[in-house]
Each structure stands twice: as C-alpha cells, then as structure tokens.
Structure 1
Amino acid sequence: MNIIVCQNYDHLSDYAKDLVINTINNNDKPVLGLATGSTPEGMYQALIKAYQEKHVSFKDVTTFNLDEYIGLGKEDPNSYHHFMDEHLFNYVDIDQNETFVPPGNTDNHEQACLDYEQNMHRHGDIDLQVLGLGVNGHIGFNEPGTPFDTRTHVIELDESTRVANARFFDSIDDVPTHAITMGIETIMESKQIVLLASGDSKKEAVQRLVNGEETPDFPASILHRHNNVTVILDRDAASLLSVEQIDQVVGPK
C-alpha cells in the first residue's frame, strides 16, 4: 500500500487525475472502475480540463461504476448514473454505450447483479479502480460485516452511510435504504486500486485503514492484500498518521 499525502484537496484531485490518464494512455482498451460521491468530483473536473486541453481521449475507454441506489432510475437526479453524466461523461469523448452503472431500478436485482458481473468479465479485468473511503470503512457500498468473498450484490445501507449521503437529498427519509454494489472480491480483482480520502472527517477511518486489523468489520482493510494500491490523502485526512507511515508527501506542480 503506497500512501501519498497531498497539500490540499485540489492537489489530491490533480494527482489522481494523472494516474487515470496514465492508465488510459498506456492501454489500448482501458477499463476504468469509477466511484461517485464528493471526493472524486475534483478528479473528474481535472479530467474534463485535461480532455479539453487535448491531454487525454476517452474514445476507447470502458467504465464500470461501483454502485447504484436501489429504486432510482438513471434519469433520477440523485442516481449515480445521472451523477456520472453530469460530472464526467457528458463533457468528454467517451462512447456512452461503454459506460456501465449497476441498474438500480429493476424488477430482478439478483439477475442484474449476475449480468453486471458477466459484463465486466467480457471486458476483462478493470485496469484502474477508483475508490472512496466511508467513515465506517466501506468501499463501494460494502458496509461493515460484508464478507470479503462477495461479488456484485444488493446490500442494506448502514445508517451512518445514509446520514453521510443525506446532504444530496431533501431529507434523510429520501435516501434509499438499499443499493446494488460491486462486491469486495470483485473490487480486489482490479489490476490497480486508487483510494481517495479528503478532509478531517476521514482521518479516523484513514488511521484505522493503515493501522487496524484486517476484518470484514472494516471492509477497506482488505486492501492490504492487494499488491498495487495507492492511497491518496490530503493533509487533513492524513493528520493522524505518523511520518513513518507516509511513503511520499507531494506538493503542487
């Protein structure tokens, strides 16, 4: 696990952007695993700017998103499908037929999970998977207690997750109670994983990720088993780590 500390959120976003571009430029048919939420928004903005400046093209890229709320159609403004359109897909040259988000609004969730897995296998392993870090250690929507051998599945959201995401809805009562998510085993099959964490609210989770035991009670702890993980933090998120635990401190270009 390579731990990178950036000066601030903007620099974190720029550093992550460079890793994504490197993956795109070094693969003929790159497959990206993407995350939603507040933390990767800056990275997506930086990628759009890089595309506008002709530093990268998405025309050969395929994407698979981590998760989606159960009960929300892709046109719903709170759906993750809509999030990706508004924060990346509508502003770059990606083939939107090659952008995949788990279907939240379906009558057969079990089949939807199987279909999503099969589609990923048809496209090969994910070259780079972007993750956020929940305050309770969730990755994707794999909440504490999720077995490490799970594939894409439906999960009931932890109350802390719903509270954290309530800011995107009119009230917490509007936050869905379930989601469809890539499983932990699915995530771990990615060739490279980049985890982003920003802000003071994530410092305890980051400390536990680095120092804590490997346990399903803190799903992100599984990442210690992967041989190519980069954790990108801003100074606030890294504030409880010792100097010895940080591999590199990087500043703005």
Structure 2
Amino acid sequence: MKISIYPTNDDMSKAAADLVAAQLAEKPNSLIVFPSGESPSGMLRYLVQYANDGKVDFSQCTIIGLDEWVGMDERDYGSCKHYLHTNFFNHLDLDPERVVMFDAKAGDLEGECERINNFIGSHGGLDIMIVGIGMNGHLGLNEPGTPFDLYAHLSELAPITVEVGQKYFKQETVLTQGITLGLKHLQEAKMAVLIASGEKKATIVAESLQGHVGTDVPASVLQNIPHARVLLDKGAASELEHIS
C-alpha cells in the first residue's frame, strides 16, 4: 500500500485524475470504477478538463458505477447515477454502451449483482477501482460487518450512512439499502485507489490504514492490498503516525 499526501484537496484531486489519465494512455480500453460523492468531485472536474483539452480519451474505456441507493436512478436527485451524469458523463462524448451501472430499480436486484459481476469478469477484470471512504470506514456501500470476500451485493445501510447521505438530497429521504461492488472487487482490481480529504475523515483514515484489519472497519482491507494507492490531502492524513 502506497500512501501519498498532498497539501490540498485540489492537489490530491489532480493526482487522482493524473492516475486515471496515465492508465488510459497505457491501456485505452481500461475498465474503470468511479465513485460518486464529495471526494471524487475535484478529480472528475480535472478529468473533464483533460478530456476537453485533448489530454485524455475516454472513447475506448468502459466505466463502471461503484454503487447506488436501492430504488433510485439517474432521474432521482441525490442518486449516484444522477451525480455521475451531472458531474461527469454529461460533459464527455461518451458512448452510453460504455457506461455500466447498477439498475437499482430492477425487480431482481440479486440478478443485477450477478449481471455486473459477470460483466466485469468477462471483460478481464477491473483496471482501476477508485473509492472514497465513509465516516464508518465503508467503501462504496460495503458497511461494517461486510465480508472481505464478497463481490457485488445488496447492503443494509448503517445509521451513519443514512444520516450523512441526506446531504445529497434536497429533502429528507428514506434510505434503507444499497447495491454495491464488493471488497473482493477492490482486492482483485489491478489498481485499487482510495481518495480522501478533510480533517473530518482523519480519524477513520488512520483507523483504516494503521489499525486492526477486520470487517468492523471495511476500509482496513486496504492493508491487505500491497498494490493499493491511497491519495490523501493534509487534513485527511493528519492523524496518521510516522507518515511524512
């Protein structure tokens, strides 16, 4: 696990975008997982800028969505799909066939998990899987207690996830379940990337990266991934020990 610390969130975001750009330059048809939420917003802005400037080409890659609130799609403000469409896809010349996301309104959600698992497996596995970290250490919607060996699955949302998740909506919204790629996907990705910013994430970042490895803190699985990359700004790294 390589931990890189940057002075600001903007510096961290640019570094994350540069990782994606380098991957696409090396392998244009890469399979890449992008998360939604606050953490990736700067990275996505840089990638849109790079694409508009001709510095990166998304035309041959395939993008996989990390997760979604069950019962929502891109028409629902606050959904993961809505976020990625609004902040990323709508600003790029993307073939819709190259965007693969969970249908969280599907009648057979277990079948959706199987569809995504099969898609990733049949396309040679993930090249980059980028995740943020929740206040309880969740990655995607892999909540505390999630086994490390799960692929895509349904999750019961933790109370803190429901509480924090309200910031994405215009009004209080009932959130009960999520559908998400699994921690096994992260471990098998050719490059697993965690991005985090801000002092509010410092405690859980330190616990995840330097504490006990166990399912009570899902992000601690990163300690089991030798090739993982962790990109932090100074605030998020402020409670780490012995890191320069």
Deviations along 1:14-37, one digit per CA (max 9) or x if unpaired, are: 111100100111004111011111
Determine whether 1:54 maps to 2:54. Answer: yes
The secondary structure found in structure 1 opposite 2:42 is helix
Partners of 1:88 and 1:150 lie apart in 2 by 28
Residue identity opposite 1:121 in structure 2: G
Deviations along 1:31-83, one digit per CA (max 9) or x if unpaired, are: 10111110100000000111111101100010111101101133222221121
| Candidates 238, 242, 245, aligned match of 2:243 | 245
The structural deviation recorded for 1:210 is 2.1
Contact 1:57 1:93 in 2 (8 A): no
Q: What is aligned with 2:70?
A: 70
Q: Flag structure 2 segments of 5+ consecutive residues without an equivalent.
A: none
Q: Flag structure 1 segments of 5+ consecutive residues without an equivalent.
A: 247-253
The structural deviation recorded for 1:232 is 0.7
Q: What is aligned with 2:206?
A: 207
The secondary structure found in structure 1 opposite 2:189 is coil
Contact 2:77 2:169 in 1 (8 A): no
Partners of 2:82 and 2:171 lie apart in 1 by 19
TM-score for both structures, normalised by structure 2: 0.96
Residue identity opposite 1:12 in structure 2: M
The secondary structure found in structure 2 opposite 1:5 is strand
Deviations along 1:95-153, one digit per CA (max 9) or x if unpaired, are: 22111111111111111111111111122211111110111110110000011111111
Partners of 1:223 and 1:238 lie apart in 2 by 15
Q: What is aligned with 2:23?
A: 23
Q: What is aligned with 1:144?
A: 144
Q: What is aligned with 1:87?
A: 87
Partners of 1:209 and 1:21 lie apart in 2 by 27
Residue identity opposite 1:45 in structure 2: R
Deviations along 1:124-183, one digit per CA (max 9) or x if unpaired, are: 2111111101111101100000111111111111010111111111344x1421110111
- Runs of 4+, deviation exceeding 2 Å: none
TM-score for both structures, normalised by structure 1: 0.93
Residue identity opposite 2:91 in structure 1: Y
Identity %: 32
